[in-house]
Amino acid sequence: MRTRALAIRIIRQFVRDKRTLALLFMAPLLVLTLMYFVFNGQTVSPAIGTAGLPAQLNERLQQAGAELTTYADLAQARAALEQGDAGLDAVITLEAGKPSILLEGSDPGASKGVMLLIQKALQADIPATVPTVNYLHGSDSLTSFDNFGPVLIGFFSFFFVFLLAGVAFLRERTTGTLERLLATPIKRSEVVLGYLTGFGLFTLLQAALIASYAIGVLGLYMEGHIWLVLAINLLLTLTALTLGTLLSSFASSEFQIIQFIPLVIVPQVFFSGLFSLDAMNPWLQKLSYIMPLYYGADALRGIMLRGEGFAEIQNDFYVLLGFSVAFAILNIAALKKQRAI
């Protein structure tokens, strides 16, 4: 009888907590559906630029599955590869009658796919020729961890700051500290700025520690400037900080903060660059535009793998800054339910 009463109490608690029910039943379906669309997208073919190749070899490359773009000369093809606007993975031309391949090089998986396709085409057309291979970025020693490392730096910074900021700000509310603070003449904007400054000091230290450890100790490939890595990582953690404190306003316990992870963190993993965005359906790719981690990972990859400067990553920089400002403003508005100042 006592067991039955206890079971009934637990069931009633679950029935009353709609958010827990949604986490239990709807969140797994949402993640599974997202994984279905991510891994059952379109086939990605290597994008190759050619200059001065015989028509027969161009045809064989297309038959092997390459997305071919023909340029007037090598200088034009190289410029397209360097700018990255055309999305080229490699450029192939003939030098002294010998095939010469220039790989973009920042993605080892894409480089291997390009080499397999080109070798297949060359074996059918020029079987006795060994092509010359050069890299625009990286080298043949670049590993998969070097490619995923910048994304992981951004992800761990974002995830832990989001979690800790949400729990810490929730504790400020549940212990009455925030209520007592709002009983003073302090403005809501000053409250938010004060919390962000206090938490921000530790997010800065965390960003510096993670980036320094990954590059200095783990030996992660680094072609750009470390200060740009720190700046992007700091902006990413600041976005996580403002988002975590904002969502904590809608939670009444630490468990409810955890409930936001499948809805806020997990989708960003799929759009961060750990999985190929080109392989997703075009309509699904557009969801990446609302994911802060997408911009952070894109900037970190550009800096660390391609040596990009501020001019190349400034769009990602300003979008992350915009996310942080927008979430901070929403934090100020969310404090109205604590007290109108």
Bridge partner list, 135: 103
| Beta-carbon count within 10 A of 165 CB | 27
Residue 42 DSSP label: P
Average pLDDT of span 169-176: 77
In the structure, what pLDDT confidence band is assigned to residue 318 with cuts at 50, 70 and 90?
Answer: very high
Say what the pLDDT of residue 298 is.
Answer: 92
Of these ranges, 34-38, 173-177, 273-277, the one predicted with the greatest mean pLDDT is 273-277
How does pLDDT run across 97-153, given as a tens digit for each residue?
778 888 888 888 888 888 888 777 777 555 556 778 888 887 777 888 888 889 988
Q: Is the per-residue pLDDT at 59 higher than 70?
A: yes
What torsion, rounded to 10 degrees, do the Cα atoms 325, 328, 329, 332 define?
Answer: -160
Q: Is the per-residue pLDDT at 163 higher than 90?
A: no
Say what the pLDDT of residue 48 is.
Answer: 86
Name the percent of the chain lying above pLDDT 70: 89
| Beta-carbon count within 10 A of 71 CB | 20
Name the percent of the chain lying above pLDDT 90: 11
Asked whether 58 and 70 are in contact (CB, 8 A), the reply is yes
Average pLDDT of span 229-254: 86
Say what the pLDDT of residue 303 is.
Answer: 93
Q: How far apart, in Å, are the Cα atoms of 176 and each of 89, 187, 250, 285?
A: 56, 17, 16, 43
Do the strands 98-103 and 90-95 form a parallel or antiparallel pair, or are they unpaired? antiparallel
Mean of the per-residue pLDDT values of the chain: 81
The alpha carbons of the chain give a radius of gyration, in whole angstroms, of 25
Which two structure tokens, joined as six digits, stand for 256? 């409810």
Residue 131 — φ and ψ, nearest 5°? -75, 155
How does pLDDT run across 289-301, given as a tens digit for each residue?
889 999 999 999 9
In the structure, what pLDDT confidence band is assigned to residue 338 with cuts at 50, 70 and 90?
Answer: low
Q: Is the per-residue pLDDT at 175 higher than 60?
A: yes
How does pLDDT run across 63-75, given as a tens digit for each residue?
878 888 888 888 8
Say what the pLDDT of residue 124 is.
Answer: 56
How does pLDDT run across 248-296, given as a tens digit for each residue?
888 777 777 887 888 888 888 888 888 777 777 777 788 888 899 999 9
In the structure, what pLDDT confidence band is assigned to residue 80 with cuts at 50, 70 and 90?
Answer: confident
Which two structure tokens, joined as six digits, stand for 308? 């990009």
How does pLDDT run across 195-228, given as a tens digit for each residue?
778 777 887 788 888 888 888 888 888 988 888 9
